[in-house]
Amino acid sequence: MTDSVTDGPGNPFRPELEALEQNGITKLAFPRMDDPDVIPLWFGEGDMATPAFIREAAMRALDEGDTFYTHTRGRPELRTAIKHYLDALYGIDVDPDRISVPGSAMLGITIAVQMVASPGSRGLIVSPNWPNIETAFRVAGVEVDFIRQRETPGGWTLDAAEIIAAVQPETRAIFVNSPCNPTGWMMPREDQRELLAFCRERGVLLIADEVYHRTVYEARVAPSFLELAGDADPMIVVNGFSKAWAMTGWRIGWVVAPKRHAVQWALLSECFNTGATVFGQQGAIAALENGEGAIASLQQRYQENRARVIQAFSNHSEIELTAPTGAFYAFPRVPAIQSSWDFAQALLDETNVGVSPGYTFGPGNDQHFRLCFAQSERPLQSGLERILDFLDRGRHRKT
Ligand SMILES: Cc1ncc(COP(=O)(O)O)c(C=O)c1O
């Protein structure tokens, strides 16, 4: 008797799919995800629910029976609200026909990759990187290359020229996430300009993931490719509501893509979830129109928490931390560890603190771990104390 249909020459499943591995974040977290004893610093979210005025807008929509299919690229009112938000934020004038509303930024990434995936093509990912980005390429059958940021005393850094030098003849897309999860690196404007010029000239798609655009520590907003690129450029900017408005569970994002592909976006959207949940779209409109106060107070929390993490880690001889300039993660290195998986697992087992193992953020990160500092003060502080105690006891040396 055969064990499964996957055995033998008749296996119908794609080898790329079967080669996929679970990422290190969920692999560590899922078995303990609902355990109230765990301090969860592993996922990219805090413990504060979405602001009430956003929840109320979605509840109102539900109460009014707003439960039907809508435009597959997002409701026109929401696309207009996104346009107004972007125009005011960056001093630009975006055509709302370039805007689509997938059911998450992650889905925006997936669709963007689908738009260039073809046999033999490659994607170049600026790394360290959130693991799902690599997965989105691999699911589409696209091979990936990485170009890693460098950790210097002045911060994480990477020149546009280094990215360009890593491009291969088969590279169809370059993926830049700035501000970066997990390092907090931000691509300077001049490098954005140089990279965009290269992509224009070579016909390579630039996928710019700007979901942390409002989570920055020395400015109001991070430099955006939208300030440099126009509709004719080979560029898709991905953004979303999860981070700036604390809406991770809503599953709603947006993209700005070339207008000539609006129909293709609509078609791909139908192949996935036919656009974001309709009452969620009403919440998103409220977030854009009245959300500046909420963004500012989240920013204040992240600013204070960032200082707590720097204070905790910068005076410990066993840990090296380059302070993040954006996003809400610390990505420290613990030089004495052999395996970031063993480190994160032992930390979880012995202290009930959940962090993410560095290896899952691309090559060269196996002495790192990622800690999300979006939680409120008390669990964060307690998590930091337990990590320091773990290091003081020398437990990391056995991992
Ligand atoms: C860099 C990056 N891009 C995209 C996403 C996905 O955001 P969303 O919740 O909208 O799918 C995340 C979430 O952690 C992220 O860190």
Q: What is the pLDDT of residues 86-125, one digit of tens each?
A: 999 999 999 999 999 999 999 999 999 999 999 999 999 9
Instruction: Report pLDDT for 1.
Output: 41
% of the chain beyond a pLDDT of 90:
91
How sure is the predictor about 7, in pLDDT bands with cuts at 50, 70 and 90?
low
Residue ending a domain, among 232, 266, 291, is 291
Please check whether residues 213 and 335 belong to one and the same domain.
no
Please check whether residues 81 and 27 belong to one and the same domain.
no
Q: What's the CA gap between 194 and 12, in Å, rounded? A: 44
Please check whether residues 99 and 187 belong to one and the same domain.
yes
Please check whether residues 297 and 278 belong to one and the same domain.
no
Averaged confidence pLDDT in the chain: 95
Please check whether residues 187 and 280 belong to one and the same domain.
yes
Answer whether 347's CB lies under 8 Å from 387's CB. yes
Beta strand 150-152 with 155-157 is antiparallel
Using the predicted structure, report yes or no on whether residue 386 has a pLDDT greater than 50.
yes
CA of 373 to the centre of ligand 1 (A): 16
Please check whether residues 283 and 309 belong to one and the same domain.
no
Please check whether residues 71 and 40 belong to one and the same domain.
no
Whether residue 350 lies inside any domain: the answer is: yes
Please check whether residues 256 and 108 belong to one and the same domain.
yes
Whether residue 55 lies inside any domain: the answer is: no
Please check whether residues 275 and 304 belong to one and the same domain.
no
Domains identified in the chain, total number: 2
Name the residue range of residue 30's domain: 15-50+293-398
Q: Is the CB of 181 under 6 A from ligand 1?
A: yes
Please check whether residues 286 and 297 belong to one and the same domain.
no
Whether residue 85 lies inside any domain: the answer is: yes
Instruction: Report pLDDT for 2.
Output: 44
Using the predicted structure, report yes or no on whether residue 6 has a pLDDT greater than 70.
no
Using the predicted structure, report yes or no on whether residue 134 has a pLDDT greater than 80.
yes
Atom index in ligand 1 nearest the CA of residue 45 equals: 14
Candidate from 132, 241, 251 with most ligand 1 atoms within 8 A of CB, to mutate: 132
- Please give the structure tokens belonging to residue 120: 């033999």
Q: Is the CB of 184 under 6 A from ligand 1?
A: no
Q: Is the CB of 322 under 6 A from ligand 1?
A: no
Atom index in ligand 1 nearest the CA of residue 240 equals: 10
Please check whether residues 218 and 91 belong to one and the same domain.
yes
Answer whether 236's CB lies under 8 Å from 115's CB. yes
Using the predicted structure, report yes or no on whether residue 352 has a pLDDT greater than 80.
yes
Q: Domain containing 168 — which CATH number?
A: 3.40.640.10
From 275, 381, 251, 367, select the one nearest 320 (Cα to Cα). Answer: 367
% of the chain beyond a pLDDT of 70:
98
How sure is the predictor about 288, in pLDDT bands with cuts at 50, 70 and 90?
very high
Q: Is the CB of 252 under 6 A from ligand 1?
A: no
Average pLDDT over residues 183-196: 98
From 262, 371, 256, 366, select the one nearest 309 (Cα to Cα). Answer: 371
Using the predicted structure, report yes or no on whether residue 242 has a pLDDT greater than 50.
yes
Q: Is the CB of 106 under 6 A from ligand 1?
A: yes
Instruction: Report pLDDT for 4.
Output: 54
Candidate from 242, 251, 373 with most ligand 1 atoms within 8 A of CB, to mutate: 242
Atom index in ligand 1 nearest the CA of residue 129 equals: 1
Average pLDDT over residues 340-353: 98
Whether residue 128 lies inside any domain: the answer is: yes
Instruction: Report pLDDT for 397.
Output: 80
Q: Is the CB of 25 under 6 A from ligand 1?
A: no
Residue ending a domain, among 291, 308, 333, is 291
Please check whether residues 205 and 97 belong to one and the same domain.
yes
Look at ligand 1, atom 7, and give the residue with the nearest C-alpha: 105
Whether residue 30 lies inside any domain: the answer is: yes
Q: Domain containing 392 — which CATH number?
A: 3.90.1150.10
Q: What's the CA gap between 156 and 304, in Å, rounded? A: 21
Whether residue 57 lies inside any domain: the answer is: no
Q: Is the CB of 50 under 6 A from ligand 1?
A: no
Residue ending a domain, among 259, 291, 323, is 291
CA of 8 to the centre of ligand 1 (A): 38
Average pLDDT over residues 172-199: 98
How sure is the predictor about 221, in pLDDT bands with cuts at 50, 70 and 90?
very high
296-327 confidence digits (pLDDT tens):
999 999 999 999 999 999 989 999 999 999 99
42-81 confidence digits (pLDDT tens):
999 999 999 999 999 999 999 999 999 999 999 999 999 9
Whether residue 38 lies inside any domain: the answer is: yes
Residue spans of beta strands (DSSP E) within 266-343: 329-330
Instruction: Report pLDDT for 319.
Output: 96
Whether residue 2 lies inside any domain: the answer is: no
CA of 26 to the centre of ligand 1 (A): 14
Instruction: Report pLDDT for 8.
Output: 61
Q: What's the CA gap between 107 and 75, in Å, rounded? A: 17
| Polymer length of the chain | 399
Average pLDDT over residues 24-50: 97
Candidate from 25, 100, 113, 130 with most ligand 1 atoms within 8 A of CB, to mutate: 130
